[in-house]
């Protein structure tokens, strides 16, 4: 019997709605496979601002560091839009990534066969399936570079500096190459090396890393072309390796190709087995507490936690298979429903998945 300590950040908006269903599913897995999951709830983002006056309380950081992994709902919302930048909920998210050393973000973009018709891409292009893994560097680049204001040629100007070290590029490239070895052995590294010095270093470093992985096919693509190719021919991609800002944009584009941002999980990993797991969707405050949110992305994030942090492959697959069976029965929350679907709310979707485990 395994005992696992999990820090839980329910967050803002629909965060508590979907995380509650994720916890129910994890508890069912614990009962079935003989594990015990212990949870400690902490605050981040808007909820932390309201309670503590800061988007990232010290207690949250300490609890997360003392845990085996972290589950996160979603943070942010218009309620806090007028706050200074350093006090916005998103600063809590950036801060926790930095504090926990979460440098590797894995975002799978998967089309479930039962939902293939929901993709905005033509059927002759997308087919009935898609499986792309975006590996995004998470603690470097322009989001963590120097920011500020200064007097410029036309008056006051703002600046944000993009910078990467060889070390940062090597460690995220290794995650991508290791992931590719377990998949289709193909990587597309996305940069803007025709313009940016940081991208030139990125490309040189990735090419050097590829020498250690002779079985992996490595391609390079400028970010503007990659954005176009994701829509034009998404099946050409297997693993996409890219920087923080490019990965932020491309992973959202890839997720929309699948038909619903409410379906996709993500993992943010540090060295070793520690990780933070969250859905890629936002906090959707307009439907918070209304039993309307799709909990599947959050539940699948829990499956990623079982696989990547705890090494519980069978348990992770049990969740993923249960979700697949529910979708095959045409049980849908509103965001993925069509005229023939059995429409359910957040809790009923959780119940349906529990019944299949």
Q: Nearest Cα to 299, choosing from 265, 269, 251?
A: 265
Torsion of CA 81, 85, 87, 90, to 10 degrees: 70
| Residue ranges of E strands in the chain | 2-11, 35-41, 69-74, 104-111, 130-137, 147-152, 155-160, 186-191, 217-222, 239-242, 265-269, 275-279, 331-332, 342-343
Are the C-beta atoms of 44 and 61 separated by less than 8 Å? no
Contacts of 11 (CB under 8 A, 6+ apart): 19, 44, 45, 46, 47, 72, 73, 74, 75, 283
Burial string for 32-57 (b: 16+ CB within 10 Å, else e) reads: eeebebeeeebbbbbbbbeeeebbbb
At residue 149, what are phi and psi to the nearest 5 degrees? -125, 150
Q: pLDDT digit string (tens) for 170-210?
A: 999 999 999 999 999 999 999 999 999 999 999 999 999 99
Q: What is the pLDDT of residue 259?
A: 76
Token pair in block for residue 186: 């193909």
For the beta carbon of residue 344, count every other beta carbon within 10 angstroms: 20
Are the C-beta atoms of 353 and 294 separated by less than 8 Å? no
Q: pLDDT digit string (tens) for 39-74?
A: 999 999 999 999 999 999 999 999 999 999 999 999
Record the pTM.
0.90
Q: Tell me the catalytic residues.
A: 143, 192, 224, 248, 252
Report residues of the chain scoring pLDDT below 70. Answer: none
Q: What is the pLDDT of residue 166?
A: 98
Q: What is the pLDDT of residue 126?
A: 85
Q: What is the pLDDT of residue 152?
A: 95
Q: Which residue has the tokens 């069509």?
A: 338
Q: What is the pLDDT of residue 117?
A: 80
Question: Whole-angstrom Cα distance, residue 320 to residue 226?
Answer: 29
Question: Whole-angstrom Cα distance, residue 155 to residue 137?
Answer: 34
- Domains of the chain: residue spans and CATH: 1-102+266-357 (3.40.718.10)
């Amino acid at each position: 019997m395994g005992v696992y300590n999990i820090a839980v950040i329910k967050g803002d908006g629909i965060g508590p709605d979907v995380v509650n269903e994720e916890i129910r599913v994890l508890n069912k897995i614990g009962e079935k496979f003989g594990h015990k999951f212990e949870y400690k709830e902490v605050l981040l983002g808007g909820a932390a601002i309201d309670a503590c006056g800061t988007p990232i309380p010290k207690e949250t950081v300490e609890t997360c560091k003392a845990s085996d992994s972290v589950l996160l709902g979603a943070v942010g919302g218009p309620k806090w839009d007028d706050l200074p930048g350093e006090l916005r909920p998103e600063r809590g998210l950036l801060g926790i990534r930095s504090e926990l050393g979460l440098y590797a973000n894995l975002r799978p973009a998967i089309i479930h066969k039962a939902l293939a018709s929901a993709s905005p891409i033509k059927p002759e292009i997308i087919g009935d399936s898609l499986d792309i893994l975006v590996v995004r560097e998470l603690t470097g680049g322009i989001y963590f570079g120097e920011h500020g204001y200064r007097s410029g040629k036309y008056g006051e100007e703002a600046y944000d500096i993009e910078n990467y070290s060889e070390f940062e590029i090597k460690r995220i490239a290794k995650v991508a190459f290791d992931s590719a070895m377990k998949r289709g052995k193909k990587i597309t590294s996305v940069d803007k090396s025709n313009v940016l010095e940081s991208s030139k270093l990125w490309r040189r470093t990735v090419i050097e890393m590829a020498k250690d992985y002779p079985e992996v096919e490595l391609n390079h693509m400028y970010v503007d072309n990659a954005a176009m190719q994701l829509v034009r021919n998404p099946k050409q991609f297997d693993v996409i390796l890219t920087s923080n800002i490019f990965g932020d944009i491309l992973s959202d584009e890839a997720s929309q190709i699948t038909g619903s941002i409410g379906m996709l999980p993500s993992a943010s990993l540090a060295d070793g087995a520690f990780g933070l797991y969250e859905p890629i969707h936002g906090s959707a405050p307009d439907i918070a507490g209304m039993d309307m949110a799709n909990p599947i992305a959050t539940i699948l994030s829990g499956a990623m936690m079982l696989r990547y942090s705890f090494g519980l492959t069978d348990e992770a697959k049990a969740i993923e298979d249960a979700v697949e069976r529910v979708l095959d029965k045409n049980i849908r929350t509103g965001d993925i429903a069509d005229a023939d679907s059995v429409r359910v709310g957040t809790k009923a979707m959780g119940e349906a998945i529990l019944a299949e485990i």
